[in-house]
Amino acid sequence: MERNKLSVDPTIPNIYQKAREEGISTVFDRYEAQQPQCGFGLTGLCCRHCVQGPCRIDPFGEGPQAGICGATAEVITARNLLRQVAAGAAAHVDHAYDVLEVLEQIAKGTESYSIKDQEKLKQVAFTLGIDTANKTEREIVEEMCQIIYRDFANSGATPMTYLKANSPQERLETWEKLGVLPRNPDREIREALHQTTMGMDADPVNLILKTIRLGLVDGFAGLKLATDLQDIIFGTPQPVVTEANLGVLKEDYVNIIVHGHVPLLSEKIVEWSRKLEDEAKKAGAKGINLAGICCTGNEVLMRQGVPLATNFLAQELAIVTGAVDLMVVDVQCIMPSLAEIAACYHTRLVTTMPIVRIPGAEHVPFTTETADTASQQIVRMAIESFQKRNPAKVYIPREKAKVVAGFSVEAIIKALAKLNPEEPLKPLIDNIVSGNILGVVATVGCNNVKVKHDWFHIELVKELIRNNVLVVTTGCSAHALAKAGFMDPAAVEWTGEGLKAVLTAIGTANDLGGPLPPVLHMGSCVDNSRIGDLVIAVANYLKVSPKDLPVAASAPEYQHEKALSIGTWAVAMGIMTHLGVVPPVAGSPKVTRILTQDAEALIGGKFYVETDPYKAAAGIIEHIKAKRALLNL
Ligand code: NFS
Ligand code: SF4
């Protein structure tokens, strides 16, 4: 591929060139080798749910219009989508469950982890109706675990407690009326798989309603649960200053990259990298330099100020710098190609989870029991590896950007409270009412090799902030924007006058010595729940539904099934959700119509598909203005 067409990230052309010269193929080359991609798959018209297939539907109406069993385009696309959303939800629920198990271990007295944030513990306990008076921390944690485990054991029709406790009444009523209130999250995922096997549901509407239900499973048993428990164990993020892009790698330090998703591992690596600094110095390094990739990178960036190396699409190129001594991974978004690329350098790739093994990688089992010993071992492996680094193969790009991050809802409220201690949300809302802030958009999700790397995130956000739209962000979108300088307070110059005035006022009131950045980093993909919490808080304050607010979400370059399940949750919350890559349902006009039009009347939110960033920005702004008009703003 032409090296300048791959990405708008300035580090990529040179590193990609290096990979080419060293005979390494990357995601970009493998994408090219896949062309042309199958049109049936792209439009969702292919079914492999039984072994009579594969079956495909002719989108032009000339060939077969039904699979061997009689499943139509509608059934096949809706079924495929439900499976993808169920898989996305499964990933997040499994993530949250891992953290829940550690919380239970804490109640039982494990020494590997502890409660860092008593405030958050009390707040979550309060939400779940736990009386915390006269109870020890351990008793509160125990009771909390019991209540949450009940959701996973619940065999009846009772809706999930965690969802009920955290949702506005109006949403609960809407979901109940539609029959999409989830019960036991594990059961919902199981049932979605059952419902989509051969010879089951053939009603596209029923399948889409189930998809919405699985979106809610993700939103509450995945995202919200994971974020809350992680905050309790590791602390709720507060503003931090750090840096982003491959320029954060350091020539004379041991470079360790944490990649994956669950902070149970990455937090421990941070802890032990700090504790074993002296060993690194003895080995001839100036110290240990940690950097993150993907969402676990976001987790330690938000809580520990660990710099960000790069995002999803450039994970391989990080290794091509030749400067990464060790990359340790847990779950999700880890390209299997990493082992082969690491083998071309001194880089050690370490897997840690029983469900993620990669031939060619070294495996160090990581559990609550082994958390400390495994992390020490991994950090020591990195120090050893540093001594084998080949300077002739090292190329560290210079580019990196300043990043101010750490904007949990708690941190945002604290910053706003400096303007109005009694009603912290009031300054935000007053500025929305006055039009200084036109609306709020969340840009989230991945990179996708089908889109020029980071380009859609950046062009979309440029347009939005220029039009006084406040942007909050998570995931690899946050990475793209961080690398491009949008989280440097200096980026306030790129915004419209109204937004600039607000950001400056908040910055001044907080003695930040400058404005807030125009793009607020709210964390990892599970931290999309923070965005949900913010939306709910504003809606409650105004006594309206989240669906009435001048807000929208966008996943400009999404690739993962998790992004589809998060998007479905956002739609269920009543939020218009833009997708910059066409989802694989286009083969059914009916399914497409339900998701992009009819959904709005039913649930308040809908998907909006637009593959041009400028048109997408215009469409989102139009939506925000329409919502403002309905609120008489
Ligand atoms: Ni989200 Fe994170 Fe990135 Fe996409 Fe993958 S890292 S959980 S799925 S690619 S944003
Ligand atoms: Fe074909 Fe039906 Fe089997 Fe799918 S379930 S592969 S459409 S026969």
Domain closes at, from 393, 419, 441: 393
Domain closes at, from 370, 393, 416: 393
pLDDT at 229: 98
Sheet containing 439-443: order of strands: 519-523, 469-474, 439-443, 551-555, 577-579, 607-609
ipTM value: 0.95
197 and 310 belong to one structural domain: no
168 and 288 belong to one structural domain: no
Q: How many domains does the chain have?
A: 3
Backbone angles phi, psi at 203, to 5 degrees: -105, 110
Is 51 among the domain residues?
no
pLDDT at 511: 86
Domain closes at, from 205, 234, 263: 234
210 and 254 belong to one structural domain: no
Nearest CA to ligand 1 atom 5: 333
Q: Name the closest ligand to CA 567.
A: 1
pLDDT at 513: 80
162 and 206 belong to one structural domain: yes
327 and 260 belong to one structural domain: yes
Is 373 among the domain residues?
yes
Give me ligand 1 centre to Cα 476, in Å. Answer: 6
CATH for 166:
1.20.1270.30
Give me ligand 2 centre to Cα 197, in Å. Answer: 9
Q: Choose one of 55, 56, 200, 588 to mutate for the ligand 2 pocket test, by most ligand atoms within 8 angstroms of C-beta.
A: 55
Is 436 among the domain residues?
yes
Q: Using one digit for the tens of pLDDT, what is the confidence trace for 76-113?
A: 999 999 999 999 999 999 999 999 999 999 999 999 99
Q: Using one digit for the tens of pLDDT, what is the confidence trace for 179-206?
A: 999 999 999 999 999 999 999 999 999 9
493 and 561 belong to one structural domain: yes
pLDDT at 512: 82
Is 506 among the domain residues?
yes
Give me ligand 1 centre to Cα 26, in Å. Answer: 18
Is 593 among the domain residues?
yes
Is 12 among the domain residues?
no
CATH for 479:
3.40.50.2030
Q: Name the closest ligand to CA 558.
A: 1
Indicate if ligand 2 lies below 6 Å from the C-beta of 99: no
Cα(103)–Cα(189) distance, integer angstroms: 23
pLDDT at 3: 82
98 and 173 belong to one structural domain: yes
Is 14 among the domain residues?
no
The DSSP element (H or E) to which 429 belongs, if any, is helix 425-434
Q: Choose one of 312, 451, 529, 558 to mutate for the ligand 1 pocket test, by most ligand atoms within 8 angstroms of C-beta.
A: 312
Angle between helical axes of 185-195 and 204-217 (0-180°, round to 10): 150
What is the domain range of residue 112? 73-234
Give me ligand 1 centre to Cα 242, in Å. Answer: 20
What pTM value is reported for the model?
0.97
429 and 573 belong to one structural domain: yes
The DSSP element (H or E) to which 308 belongs, if any, is strand 308-310
Indicate if ligand 2 lies below 6 Å from the C-beta of 52: yes
293 and 152 belong to one structural domain: no
Residues with CB under 6 A from ligand 1: 261, 294-295, 312, 333, 445-446, 475-476, 525, 560, 562-563
123 and 145 belong to one structural domain: yes
DSSP-based three-state secondary structure for 469 = strand
Q: Could you give the residue ranges of the DSSP H alpha helices within 435-578? A: 455-466, 475-483, 497-509, 528-542, 561-572
Indicate if ligand 2 lies below 6 Å from the C-beta of 197: no
416 and 389 belong to one structural domain: no
| Residue 294 marked as a ligand binder | no
Q: Name the closest ligand to CA 65.
A: 2
Can you list the residues of the chain whose pLDDT is less than 70? none
pLDDT at 243: 98
439 and 335 belong to one structural domain: no
Is 30 among the domain residues?
no
Q: Is 69 left (phi over 0), alpha (psi -120 to 50) or beta?
A: alpha
pLDDT at 155: 85
Give me ligand 2 centre to Cα 219, in Å. Answer: 31
**DSSP string over 117-163:** -HHHHHHHHHHTT---TT--HHHHHHHHHHHHHHHHH--SSPPPHHH
